[in-house]
Protein backbone atom coordinates (compact mmCIF):
# COMPACT_ATOMS: atom_id res chain seq x y z
CA UNK A 1 0.00 0.00 0.00
CA UNK A 2 2.84 2.35 0.90
CA UNK A 3 4.56 1.69 -2.44
CA UNK A 4 1.30 2.30 -4.29
CA UNK A 5 0.85 5.64 -2.51
CA UNK A 6 4.43 6.67 -3.25
CA UNK A 7 3.95 5.68 -6.88
CA UNK A 8 0.83 7.81 -7.18
CA UNK A 9 2.58 10.80 -5.58
CA UNK A 10 5.53 10.44 -7.96
CA UNK A 11 3.18 10.32 -10.94
CA UNK A 12 1.28 13.39 -9.73
CA UNK A 13 4.53 15.32 -9.20
CA UNK A 14 5.81 14.24 -12.64
CA UNK A 15 2.63 15.41 -14.34
CA UNK A 16 2.73 18.70 -12.45
CA UNK A 17 6.34 19.25 -13.52
CA UNK A 18 5.52 18.54 -17.18
CA UNK A 19 2.54 20.90 -17.09
CA UNK A 20 4.62 23.59 -15.39
CA UNK A 21 7.42 23.36 -17.96
CA UNK A 22 4.99 23.26 -20.86
CA UNK A 23 3.07 26.31 -19.62
CA UNK A 24 6.31 28.25 -19.27
CA UNK A 25 7.17 28.02 -22.98
CA UNK A 26 4.49 30.44 -24.28
CA UNK A 27 5.75 33.01 -21.77
CA UNK A 28 9.27 32.83 -23.21
CA UNK A 29 9.22 35.33 -26.02
CA UNK A 30 11.21 34.33 -29.05
CA UNK A 31 14.15 36.66 -29.45
CA UNK A 32 13.73 38.78 -32.58
CA UNK A 33 16.31 38.44 -35.32
CA UNK A 34 15.29 41.83 -36.69
CA UNK A 35 17.82 44.61 -35.97
CA UNK A 36 16.60 48.02 -34.89
CA UNK A 37 16.29 50.63 -37.64
CA UNK A 38 19.47 52.31 -36.41
CA UNK A 39 21.35 49.00 -36.42
CA UNK A 40 20.13 48.25 -39.93
CA UNK A 41 21.26 51.66 -41.19
CA UNK A 42 24.66 51.30 -39.56
CA UNK A 43 25.18 47.84 -41.03
CA UNK A 44 24.01 48.62 -44.56
CA UNK A 45 24.98 52.30 -44.93
CA UNK A 46 27.93 51.46 -47.20
CA UNK A 47 26.84 48.25 -48.87
CA UNK A 48 28.80 47.43 -52.00
CA UNK A 49 25.50 46.71 -53.75
CA UNK A 50 23.35 49.83 -53.33
CA UNK A 51 20.44 48.21 -55.17
CA UNK A 52 19.38 46.03 -52.29
CA UNK A 53 20.20 43.61 -49.54
CA UNK A 54 18.65 40.26 -50.31
CA UNK A 55 19.59 37.73 -47.60
CA UNK A 56 17.82 37.93 -44.25
CA UNK A 57 17.32 35.87 -41.11
CA UNK A 58 13.78 37.25 -40.78
CA UNK A 59 10.67 37.53 -42.93
CA UNK A 60 8.18 40.32 -43.60
CA UNK A 61 5.97 39.50 -40.62
CA UNK A 62 8.99 39.59 -38.30
CA UNK A 63 9.84 43.03 -39.70
CA UNK A 64 6.35 44.41 -39.14
CA UNK A 65 6.28 42.97 -35.61
CA UNK A 66 9.60 44.65 -34.78
CA UNK A 67 9.24 48.01 -36.59
CA UNK A 68 5.49 48.47 -36.76
CA UNK A 69 3.54 49.34 -39.89
CA UNK A 70 5.17 51.35 -42.63
CA UNK A 71 5.09 55.06 -41.68
CA UNK A 72 5.39 56.55 -45.15
CA UNK A 73 4.80 55.53 -48.74
CA UNK A 74 6.77 56.26 -51.89
CA UNK A 75 5.83 56.61 -55.52
CA UNK A 76 8.34 54.06 -56.72
CA UNK A 77 6.24 51.05 -55.80
CA UNK A 78 7.84 49.99 -52.51
CA UNK A 79 5.71 47.75 -50.35
CA UNK A 80 6.89 49.37 -47.11
CA UNK A 81 9.04 52.35 -46.14
CA UNK A 82 10.29 53.46 -42.71
CA UNK A 83 11.79 56.89 -42.10
CA UNK A 84 14.92 57.00 -39.97
CA UNK A 85 16.37 60.51 -39.63
CA UNK A 86 16.98 61.90 -43.12
CA UNK A 87 17.02 58.43 -44.65
CA UNK A 88 14.49 55.77 -45.53
CA UNK A 89 14.62 52.00 -45.14
CA UNK A 90 12.72 50.43 -48.00
CA UNK A 91 11.27 47.01 -48.73
CA UNK A 92 11.52 47.24 -52.48
CA UNK A 93 9.59 44.18 -53.53
CA UNK A 94 6.27 43.05 -52.14
CA UNK A 95 6.70 39.68 -50.40
CA UNK A 96 4.85 36.70 -51.83
CA UNK A 97 2.70 34.28 -49.83
CA UNK A 98 5.80 32.90 -48.10
CA UNK A 99 6.49 36.34 -46.55
CA UNK A 100 10.05 36.16 -47.81
CA UNK A 101 11.56 39.63 -48.33
CA UNK A 102 13.05 39.83 -51.82
CA UNK A 103 14.92 43.13 -51.36
CA UNK A 104 15.60 45.90 -48.87
CA UNK A 105 17.68 49.04 -49.27
CA UNK A 106 18.44 52.42 -47.76
CA UNK A 107 17.46 55.57 -49.65
CA UNK A 108 18.53 59.16 -49.11
CA UNK A 109 16.79 62.49 -49.65
CA UNK A 110 18.54 65.29 -51.55
CA UNK A 111 17.28 68.66 -52.76
CA UNK A 112 18.69 69.84 -56.09
CA UNK A 113 18.15 73.08 -58.01
CA UNK A 114 17.60 72.95 -61.76
CA UNK A 115 20.05 75.13 -63.71
CA UNK A 116 19.83 74.18 -67.39
CA UNK A 117 19.37 71.31 -69.85
CA UNK A 118 21.50 70.11 -72.73
CA UNK A 119 19.63 67.68 -75.00
CA UNK A 120 18.41 64.90 -72.66
CA UNK A 121 20.84 65.85 -69.88
CA UNK A 122 19.52 67.92 -66.97
CA UNK A 123 22.01 69.89 -64.88
CA UNK A 124 21.17 70.53 -61.25
CA UNK A 125 23.09 71.78 -58.20
CA UNK A 126 22.93 71.03 -54.49
CA UNK A 127 21.58 73.83 -52.34
CA UNK A 128 24.86 74.40 -50.53
CA UNK A 129 26.20 77.89 -51.07
CA UNK A 130 29.91 78.09 -51.80
CA UNK A 131 30.53 74.34 -52.18
CA UNK A 132 32.96 73.60 -55.00
CA UNK A 133 33.20 69.82 -54.79
CA UNK A 134 32.57 68.21 -58.19
CA UNK A 135 29.63 66.25 -56.78
CA UNK A 136 27.88 69.50 -55.96
CA UNK A 137 26.73 69.68 -59.59
CA UNK A 138 24.72 66.68 -60.68
CA UNK A 139 23.65 65.37 -64.06
CA UNK A 140 20.21 63.80 -64.35
CA UNK A 141 18.68 62.35 -67.51
CA UNK A 142 15.21 62.36 -68.97
CA UNK A 143 14.78 58.82 -67.67
CA UNK A 144 15.28 59.98 -64.07
CA UNK A 145 12.37 62.43 -64.07
CA UNK A 146 8.76 62.08 -65.21
CA UNK A 147 7.95 63.90 -68.44
CA UNK A 148 5.33 66.11 -66.76
CA UNK A 149 7.90 67.33 -64.22
CA UNK A 150 10.52 67.94 -66.94
CA UNK A 151 8.10 70.06 -68.97
CA UNK A 152 7.53 72.39 -66.02
CA UNK A 153 11.17 72.87 -65.00
CA UNK A 154 12.41 76.46 -64.98
CA UNK A 155 15.72 77.77 -63.74
CA UNK A 156 15.60 77.60 -59.94
CA UNK A 157 13.09 74.74 -59.71
CA UNK A 158 13.76 72.56 -56.67
CA UNK A 159 13.84 68.81 -57.28
CA UNK A 160 13.72 66.42 -54.36
CA UNK A 161 15.18 63.03 -55.19
CA UNK A 162 15.21 59.76 -53.27
CA UNK A 163 18.34 57.84 -54.22
CA UNK A 164 20.80 55.20 -53.04
CA UNK A 165 23.30 57.72 -51.66
CA UNK A 166 26.01 56.96 -54.23
CA UNK A 167 27.53 59.64 -56.45
CA UNK A 168 29.83 58.75 -59.34
CA UNK A 169 33.04 60.79 -59.37
CA UNK A 170 32.93 63.05 -62.40
CA UNK A 171 31.68 66.41 -63.61
CA UNK A 172 28.86 66.63 -63.70
CA UNK A 173 28.35 64.13 -60.88
CA UNK A 174 25.95 61.30 -61.53
CA UNK A 175 23.63 59.58 -59.11
CA UNK A 176 23.98 55.81 -59.11
CA UNK A 177 20.29 54.95 -58.70
CA UNK A 178 17.31 57.30 -58.36
CA UNK A 179 14.16 55.84 -56.82
CA UNK A 180 11.93 58.89 -57.25
CA UNK A 181 12.07 62.58 -58.14
CA UNK A 182 9.52 65.32 -57.63
CA UNK A 183 9.35 69.11 -57.91
CA UNK A 184 8.76 70.72 -54.51
CA UNK A 185 9.09 74.43 -55.20
CA UNK A 186 11.30 77.23 -56.41
CA UNK A 187 14.36 78.93 -54.90
CA UNK A 188 14.48 82.67 -54.50
CA UNK A 189 16.01 84.33 -57.55
CA UNK A 190 18.79 85.69 -55.37
CA UNK A 191 20.15 82.13 -54.91
CA UNK A 192 20.55 81.39 -58.60
CA UNK A 193 23.70 83.50 -59.39
CA UNK A 194 25.63 81.75 -56.60
CA UNK A 195 24.63 78.31 -57.88
CA UNK A 196 25.61 79.31 -61.41
CA UNK A 197 29.02 80.43 -60.17
CA UNK A 198 29.52 77.10 -58.40
CA UNK A 199 28.62 75.20 -61.53
CA UNK A 200 31.00 77.29 -63.67
CA UNK A 201 33.84 76.90 -61.15
CA UNK A 202 33.41 73.14 -61.08
CA UNK A 203 33.12 72.92 -64.87
CA UNK A 204 36.27 75.02 -65.40
CA UNK A 205 38.33 73.20 -62.78
CA UNK A 206 37.28 69.62 -63.44
CA UNK A 207 36.78 69.55 -67.20
CA UNK A 208 38.18 72.80 -68.60
CA UNK A 209 35.09 73.37 -70.70
CA UNK A 210 31.52 72.23 -71.21
The residue that leads in pLDDT, 90 or 51, is 90
Residue 208 has what pLDDT?
45
Closest listed residue to residue 48, CA positions, set 176, 138, 144: 176
pLDDT value for 4: 62
Evaluate whether 189 touches 155 at the Cβ level (below 8 Å).
no
- pLDDT at residue 154 tops 70: yes
CATH architecture of the domain formed by 109-206: Beta Barrel (2.40)
Instruction: Give me the mean pLDDT over the 118-136 stretch.
Output: 78
Instruction: Render pLDDT for 90-119 as a digit per residue (tens, 0 to 9).
Output: 887 666 778 888 778 788 888 999 999 988
* Whether the Cβ atoms of residue 38 and residue 13 lie closer than 8 Å to each other: no
Confidence at 126, pLDDT banded by 50, 70, 90: confident
Dist CA 57 CA 61 (whole Å): 12
Domain spans in the chain, listed from the N-terminal domain onward: 37-107, 109-206
Give this prediction's pTM: 0.60
> What's the pLDDT band for 152 if we cut at 50, 70, 90?
very high
Residue 163 has pLDDT above 80, yes or no: yes
Least confident span in 12-26, 111-125, 167-181: 12-26
Q: Render the burial of 112-126: b for 16+ CB within 10 Å, e for the rest.
A: bbbbeeeeeebbbbb
- Summarize the confidence of residues 44-67 as an average pLDDT: 75
Helices (H), the chain: 2-27, 37-44, 60-67, 147-151, 192-206
3-state secondary structure of 178: strand
The length of the chain in residues reads 210
Confidence tier at 14 by pLDDT (50, 70, 90): low
Amino acid sequence: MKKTTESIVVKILSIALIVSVASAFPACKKKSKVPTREEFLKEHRNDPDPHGIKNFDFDYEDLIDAWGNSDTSKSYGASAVWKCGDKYIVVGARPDDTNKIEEMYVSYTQELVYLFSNASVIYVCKREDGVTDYNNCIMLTDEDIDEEIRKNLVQGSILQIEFDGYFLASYPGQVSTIYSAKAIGQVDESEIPSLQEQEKYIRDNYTGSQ
